[in-house]
Amino acid sequence: MSTSPTPLSYKDAGVDIDAGDALVERIKPLAKKTMREGVLAGIGGFGALFEVPKRYREPVLVSGTDGVGTKLKLAFEWQMHDSVGIDLVAMSVNDVLVQGAEPLFFLDYFACGKLDVETAAAVVAGVARGCELSGCALIGGETAEMPGMYPAGEYDLAGFAVGAVEKSKILTGATIQPGDVVLGLASSGVHSNGFSLVRKCVERAEAAGTTPATLDGKPFKQALMEPTRLYVKNVLAALAAHPTTSGSSCGIKALAHITGGGLLENIPRVLPDGTAAHLVKGSWPKTELFAWLQATAGIDDFEMNRTFNNGIGMVVVIDAASAGACAATLRAAGETVYEIGLIAERGDAAAVLVR
Whether residues 240 and 150 share a domain: the answer is no
Closest-CA residue to 314 (of 84, 93, 1, 27): 93
Whether residues 215 and 325 share a domain: the answer is yes
Does some domain include residue 11?
A: no
Whether residues 157 and 234 share a domain: the answer is no
State what percent of residues in the chain have pLDDT above 70.
95
pTM, 2 dp: 0.93
| Confidence band for 7, pLDDT divided at 50, 70 and 90 | confident
Whether residues 158 and 50 share a domain: the answer is yes
The pLDDT of residue 205 is above 80: yes
**Domain coverage including residue 63:** 17-169
* pLDDT at 2 (0 to 100): 60
Whether residues 64 and 197 share a domain: the answer is no
The pLDDT of residue 19 is above 80: no
Does some domain include residue 149?
A: yes
Whether residues 190 and 136 share a domain: the answer is no
* pLDDT at 12 (0 to 100): 62
Whether residues 108 and 240 share a domain: the answer is no
Whether residues 143 and 188 share a domain: the answer is no
Whether residues 154 and 185 share a domain: the answer is no
Does some domain include residue 6?
A: no
End-of-domain residue from the set 169, 198, 232: 169
Instruction: Work out the average pLDDT over 98-112.
Output: 96
Lowest mean pLDDT among 37-41, 60-64, 176-180, 301-305: 37-41
What's the CATH number where 251 sits? Answer: 3.90.650.10
Does some domain include residue 4?
A: no
End-of-domain residue from the set 136, 169, 202: 169
Does some domain include residue 215?
A: yes
Whether residues 305 and 263 share a domain: the answer is yes
The pLDDT of residue 8 is above 90: no
Q: Residues 306-321, buried b or exposed e (16+ Cβ, 10 A)? A: bbbbbbbbbbbbbbee
| Confidence band for 11, pLDDT divided at 50, 70 and 90 | confident
**Helix-strand-coil percent breakdown of the chain, rounded to 5?**
35, 25, 40
Does some domain include residue 123?
A: yes
| Confidence band for 48, pLDDT divided at 50, 70 and 90 | confident
* pLDDT at 24 (0 to 100): 80
Instruction: Work out the average pLDDT over 331-342.
Output: 97
Does some domain include residue 155?
A: yes
How far apart CA 171 and CA 239 sit, in angstroms, is 10
What's the CATH number where 120 sits? Answer: 3.30.1330.10
pLDDT tens by residue, 245-262 = 655 678 999 999 999 999
| Confidence band for 350, pLDDT divided at 50, 70 and 90 | confident
Whether residues 58 and 195 share a domain: the answer is no
Specify the number of domains making up the chain: 2
* pLDDT at 247 (0 to 100): 54
Does some domain include residue 12?
A: no
* pLDDT at 10 (0 to 100): 62
Instruction: Work out the average pLDDT over 332-351.
Output: 91
Instruction: Work out the average pLDDT over 4-9.
Output: 72
Lowest mean pLDDT among 8-12, 269-273, 295-299, 322-326: 8-12
Instruction: Work out the average pLDDT over 8-29.
Output: 74
* pLDDT at 245 (0 to 100): 67
* pLDDT at 18 (0 to 100): 72
Q: Can you spell out the DSSP letters for 107-175?
A: EEEEEESS--HHHHHHHHHHHHHHHHHHT-EEEEEEEEE-TTTS-TT-EEEEEEEEEEEEGGG----TT
Instruction: Work out the average pLDDT over 272-285.
Output: 94
pLDDT tens by residue, 107-149 = 999 999 999 999 999 999 999 999 999 999 999 889 999 999 9
Mean per-residue pLDDT of the chain:
92
Whether residues 54 and 197 share a domain: the answer is no
The pLDDT of residue 1 is above 60: no
* pLDDT at 44 (0 to 100): 72
The pLDDT of residue 9 is above 70: no
* pLDDT at 182 (0 to 100): 97
Q: Is the dihedral of CA 25, 65, 78, 228 positive or negative?
A: negative
Q: Is the CB of residue 106 less than 8 Å from the CB of residue 72?
A: no
How far apart CA 146 and CA 158 sit, in angstroms, is 16
End-of-domain residue from the set 116, 149, 169: 169
